[in-house]
Structures are given as C-alpha cells and as structure tokens.
Chain A
Amino acid sequence: MKIVTDFSVGSRPPQVSAGFAPGSLFRAGEVGVHYAVADQDEVFSDTSGLVPAEIGQSVARVNDRSGNDLHAVQSSIALRPALGRAPANMRNRVPNNRMDGTQLGTVGSGGSLPAGWDFTGGLHPEVVASGVLDDLPYVDVRFAGTPSTNMRVRFASNTTIPAANGQTWTESMGLALVGGSLANTTDVRVEIEWRGVAGASISGQTFGAGDVSASLTGTYQRFSGTFTATVADTSFISPRVRIGWSSGPVDFTLRIFAPQIERSAEASALQITGANGFDVSEGNLPAPAFLRFDLSDDVLPTAFPDGGTFDVMVFGRRGSWIERGVTIAAAGSLNIGPTTITGAEAGVLPALGDIVGWTAVDRTLTDAEVSRLVQYHKARGARGLLVPGPELISNGGAGFADTSGWQPISSSMTIGVSDGRLFVQRSNAASAGAARAVYPFPVTVGAAYLIEMTGSTEMDTLRGALRADGGIDADRAVLNTSSATPVTGRRVGTGRPGDAGFAFGTVGSVSFADGRAYLHALSIRELRPEEDW
C-alpha cells in the first residue's frame, strides 16, 4: 500500500499553492520520488534515517515523500551535501556574525575571534567578552599595546564573498567603545576592500566610510558604508572595521555587534549568520532549509530498481529546472550532483543554487502541475524555472558568412570561413601549438548561460567553453570531441572571474599541416528565473 506522506500538514503551509500537495502527483500509482527539505523533518545525517541532520551537518539521506519509499541515500561521507537554512531573501554575506567559535583570551594564546574573522595590526588583541544584547550578538575586543600599522578586524577572508565590477554593496555593524580611550588612534571606519581573482590584492581598492570615532559611546550604534566596485578585476569583497593608528601605545576595548554586508545601496534589517554561513535567520521570518552541494563531488543518488522514463524537476534558491523524458535503466539511479542532474545538461546544478527539493514522475507532467510544483517550492525558498534570454552571439547561428566578432587567440593562429563554417588553424608550418579562437562578450560572474555548439575537427580534440584565462577547461567544455563529422553539445556554463567570452579550438599541440577545427553553429543565452525577465 502506498502511503503519501506529504499533505503539507505540520509543515509551513505554502503561501501560493494552497491545497496542492506534491504527493498528489502519485495518486494513480505513478513511480517516482518527491523530496522537500525545507522543514528538515525528512533529512538525516545517517543512511538509516534515524538521526535528523542538523544545520551545518552533512546529509546522508533524504526521505521520499511520494509514498514510493525511494529514498535518496549517500553512503560515502565525502560525497554528502550539507544542510543549511536561510530566509528567502538571504542578504547578509558575512558567514558568521553570531560569534560562533569565539574564545575569551588573547588571540593566538588561547583566545579566538569569531570563526572566520581575523586581525591585522601588529599586536595581539584580547577577546574580553562575548554575548547577546537585545538580540544582537557582540564581541568585546581589547586592543592594548603598540601596533605596527593601522588595525583591522576582518569579518571574512578575501575569497569568501564574491563580488564583481559595477556592483554596489553596503556594510553595516554596531560599534561601542566599552573600555579605555582612543588615544593614539586617528579614526574608526566601516571599511571594505575589493579583491581580485583568487583574492589577489588590487592596488588602491580599500575604501572606508566616514570616521565615526567621535560618535562612539558605550552603547550600541549602527554604522554603515556603501561602496561601488569600479575595477574590472573585482572578484571579491572583504568586509572589516578599521582603527587608524598614529604612534605610541593604544588601550581601548571595542564592542562589535553583528556585522552585515549585502549587495544593496543601503543597510537593511539585520540577518544573523552562523555555522560558516549555513545558518541565516532574520527575526521571525521563515528560514527554509536547503541542501548545499559542494559542486565538486557531492551527489545524492536514488536507486530505481525497475527504471523508467521520468519528468524530473529540481528546485533551487537561484532557479528551478525541468528535464522531461529522462530514461533511467533498471537498477539505475537518479543522481543530483556533482554538477548536474541525471538526464540534464552538464553544469545545471551551479545555476540552481542551494537545493530545496526535487521530484521525478514516470509520466508527463502537465503545465498546471509544473506551475504548482514551482509555486510550492517558491514558498520554501526556491525561485522560478530558469529560462533563456536573447541570443548573445551575433555571428554564430546556422552558418557563418564572415569572421566578424571572432578573433584568433594569438597571431600564431588563423581564422576564416569555409562552407558556412568558422575555422581555426595554426598560421604556418613553422610553429606548433594550440589553435583557438574567441568571441569576446561581457560574461557576468555568477550568471548562468545555456550554451549550444556544433563543431567538428580534422585534428586534435576540439573543445569549446566560456573562456578561462590560459585555456579551455575540460570540465567546462560544451563539446569534447575528435569527430570529423559535426557533433552538437549543450551545457549550462556559469561565469567565473577572468571569463571574457567564448573560446573554441584544440586541446593539444597541432601544426598547420594537421588541418582545421570547425565551428558550425553557436548559441549562448543567459538563464534567469522566469520572473526576472
């Protein structure tokens, strides 16, 4: 007997899809699965389903709510996603402002700033108190001694918070002077630093808000600063508070309340963060749970003893996806992770963000069912179906008349058009190496792109991918073929720092005599949730 376990009773009721329970999709005895992790009650840290997973823990098992008892289980510890929770509008990117990991004492000698925070300035600050005041977590840090430079408490590492050129961010925090005086200091400021690829320093990219030293009192005041990135290399933002130093010894205790940094032109209501960013809350707002896959090797499989052909939907906090007609062989499995879903294009998972649920049914879902499923999961933190926008490649459709917009990566390579195909080849017989061409266009860091490419090659393996500096990465390739006849590939690519367009060409070293690599057609369209277009 099939027992449908999800009637939305006892869990947070959907805000839009009142009356719809995904379990109803299986009333006629359909084979399939339905997973929803928002209320955490079917998410476990053990494979037997006996120990509920806690926020920040890895997840070994998610129970199926369809009534088919086809649970998603990962027996290998290294391959398990982690459980998190956050309000639908998760804004604060400081991973830990509730002061997890704080230890009283001198930093480096038994004491610790909150996990993920650090200090620069040439003395050893002392954590003298930590607690919660009027629902605001705080830490008291005493700075005593002679600094070697300006003092900074940084709230996240240089590679924790991705950012990009043109973005506006606001950092805010509560500050109070609860001991000593600011003698021998020059200023106290909310400060950020824009950092480059891999967290590299960018000259002249540290910015502070106005000096608040004269305003500090012994009680809470919230200060903020708003900053806009103007340098192309910008890849991360580093939030901190700065205390300028003139000369001589200092001795004061600064109380720092719950810093927040958000992509916004003004400070918004405070969100409390902990568990290294896996636990985010805001007042009494719902904070639905999600699964965070590491996009490296995490995968949750569901074994289907009899196989079948399924419509599969996955619901994420950046967007949702539907893949129709996915065939799973008998004893095969439906996998979510590491970077895609069984039957879907490569690279889908990063575009979806943290996952709040997924469903598979061995029949065609109606448009009404698709809409209701999306609404059901939107009420639990997901966003709408990802749909592609306008074509971004103006010379790459069916047939090339010329090479406009395309360029060889170096003068050692030549591009041209032959029989409606764009080709790339080494320029002369004297030198061997890669043969690649690029179509530059502004790739947005973090944005998802649906890429379709048809190519063929007379020589070495042909690949095409959003361009990363230094080459065409195998794991980002749309095509990876040595076929002399046209082959079509399709994947979802996510923009990364350093991407500047689309590149295609050979992997290894070739010579002029080896021939050409051909691009027959190319399409790139940005994917956004349907509500964002």
Chain B
Amino acid sequence: MQYSAVLIIPAAMKPAADTLGKAMGWGEVSYTIPLGDGQNVTHFAARADVGTQFLRWIKGLDPLPDPAAQSVIAALHADFSPDPTFDGDEPPPAFWGNQHLEHVLHEMALQIMPR
C-alpha cells in the first residue's frame, strides 16, 4: 500500500530532518518547500509517496530504526492520504500531490513561499 505523505518541519529543524532523511536512504535533501505566513519562512515541507513501514514509524506503531530520530519525529507534522487510521462511516477525501499539500497547508494556515 502506498500513501501520499505531506511532512512539515519547523524551519529550525530542517537540517536535522534532512539528515534523518539521508540516514534513511532518502537522499541529501528532502524538505525543499518553504512555507510561511506570506512574509516569513517558518517551516519546510516534503511531499512523497511512502509505504506502510514508513507510516508505522512516523505514527509510532513500530520503533524507529534510529531512536535518535525521535526529536525530529516529535517536531514533525505528518499527514497521510488515504488516512490509514480512519474508522468511521464516510472516509475523508483522498489526496495526492499538490492537492494533498494544499489541503494540509489550508488546515495549518500556512502558505508556500517563493523559492
């Protein structure tokens, strides 16, 4: 199962989050989307397709491969679509790509800043 993931990290945590991504084999840089209030960059985001294991790590269902990553995970806002934890009658909308990112940004009152 693949999920669309939107991962948002406070700007001050970007270096640590990128380092964690690199350690997980994600490559040098993962968080490339500057976010803010329209004037200042306050966060960075990544949008990716992820598998079930990644989701379980982020949601704390499985122990992290590197416990030192916990400080980054604690600061991370992660949104997955479809929502694997949904257990109601009418599932929430499913999103992918930029539509997913914009949905999360709307909920967090953030916007994409000029790159």
The interface of chain A, by Cβ under 8 A from chain B, is: 56, 58, 74-79, 82, 101, 108, 115-116, 118, 120, 122, 156-160, 198-199, 276, 292-298, 338, 461, 471, 473-475, 477, 480, 507-508
> Does B25 touch A at the CB level, under 8 Å?
yes
* Interchain CB contact (< 8 A) of A78 among B38, B48, B112: B48
Contacts of A295 in B (CB 8 A): 97-98
> Does B113 touch A at the CB level, under 8 Å?
yes
* Interchain CB contact (< 8 A) of B93 among A101, A115, A158, A477: A158
Q: A77 near B26 (CB under 8 angstroms)?
A: yes
> Does B21 touch A at the CB level, under 8 Å?
yes
* Interchain CB contact (< 8 A) of B27 among A79, A276, A294: A79
Contacts of B92 in A (CB 8 A): 157
Contacts of B25 in A (CB 8 A): 77
Tell me what chain B mostly uses at the interface: helix, strand, loop, or mixed. Answer: loop
Q: A58 near B49 (CB under 8 angstroms)?
A: yes
Contacts of B38 in A (CB 8 A): 471, 474, 507-508
A246 CB to nearest chain B CB (Å): 20
Q: B28 near A76 (CB under 8 angstroms)?
A: yes
With A78-B47, A507-B39 in contact, is A294–B93 under 8 Å at CB?
no
Q: A294 near B39 (CB under 8 angstroms)?
A: no
Contacts of A276 in B (CB 8 A): 2, 96
With A78-B48, A296-B101 in contact, is A475–B93 under 8 Å at CB?
no
CA–CA, A338 and B114, complex, Å: 12
B50 CB to nearest chain A CB (Å): 9
A100 CB to nearest chain B CB (Å): 10
Q: A159 near B47 (CB under 8 angstroms)?
A: no
* Interchain CB contact (< 8 A) of A79 among B32, B87, B90: B32
A-B contact count (CB 8 A): 104
With A76-B27, A157-B91 in contact, is A296–B98 under 8 Å at CB?
yes
Q: A297 near B94 (CB under 8 angstroms)?
A: no
CA–CA, A295 and B95, complex, Å: 13
The 3 closest A-B pairs by CB, nearest first: A76-B27, A294-B97, A159-B93
With A78-B21, A78-B47 in contact, is A475–B111 under 8 Å at CB?
yes
With A157-B91, A276-B2, A473-B111 in contact, is A78–B97 under 8 Å at CB?
no
Contact residues on B (Cβ < 8 Å of other chain), bracket: 35 or more
Q: B90 near A159 (CB under 8 angstroms)?
A: no
With A76-B26, A295-B97, A507-B39 in contact, is A475–B112 under 8 Å at CB?
yes
CA–CA, A75 and B30, complex, Å: 10
With A296-B33, A507-B38 in contact, is A477–B114 under 8 Å at CB?
yes
CA–CA, A218 and B114, complex, Å: 58
Contacts of A159 in B (CB 8 A): 93-95, 99, 103
Instruction: Encode contact with A along B79-115: 1 for CB under 8 Å, 0 otherwise.
Output: 0001000010111111111111101001000011110
Q: B98 near A78 (CB under 8 angstroms)?
A: no
Other than A156-B94, A474-B111, give 17 A-B pairs with Cβ distance below 8 A.
A74-B27, A75-B27, A76-B29, A76-B30, A82-B49, A101-B1, A159-B94, A198-B93, A292-B97, A293-B97, A296-B33, A338-B32, A461-B39, A471-B38, A475-B112, A475-B114, A508-B38
Contacts of A77 in B (CB 8 A): 25-27, 30, 48
Q: A118 near B91 (CB under 8 angstroms)?
A: yes
Instruction: Encode contact with A along B1-26: 1 for CB under 8 Å, 0 otherwise.
Output: 11000000000000000000100011
With A276-B96, A475-B111 in contact, is A78–B39 under 8 Å at CB?
no
5 A-B pairs with C-beta separation under 8 A: A116-B94, A156-B94, A159-B103, A199-B93, A296-B98
CA–CA, A74 and B29, complex, Å: 11
* Interchain CB contact (< 8 A) of B47 among A156, A158, A294, A474: A294
With A159-B94, A294-B47 in contact, is A474–B33 under 8 Å at CB?
no
Q: A75 near B28 (CB under 8 angstroms)?
A: yes
CA–CA, A471 and B49, complex, Å: 30
Contacts of B94 in A (CB 8 A): 116, 156-157, 159-160
Question: Closest chain B residue to A293 by CB distance?
Answer: B97
Contacts of A461 in B (CB 8 A): 39
Q: A120 near B27 (CB under 8 angstroms)?
A: no
Contacts of B100 in A (CB 8 A): 296
The CB with the most chain A CB atoms within 10 A, among B87, B89, B96, B111, is that of B96
Q: B26 near A78 (CB under 8 angstroms)?
A: yes
Contacts of A74 in B (CB 8 A): 27
Contacts of B58 in A (CB 8 A): none
Contacts of B87 in A (CB 8 A): 108
Q: A294 near B111 (CB under 8 angstroms)?
A: no
CA–CA, A77 and B31, complex, Å: 11
> Does B46 touch A at the CB level, under 8 Å?
yes
CA–CA, A120 and B111, complex, Å: 34
* Interchain CB contact (< 8 A) of B103 among A76, A198, A473: A198
Contacts of B29 in A (CB 8 A): 76, 79
Q: B33 near A297 (CB under 8 angstroms)?
A: yes
Contacts of B96 in A (CB 8 A): 276, 294
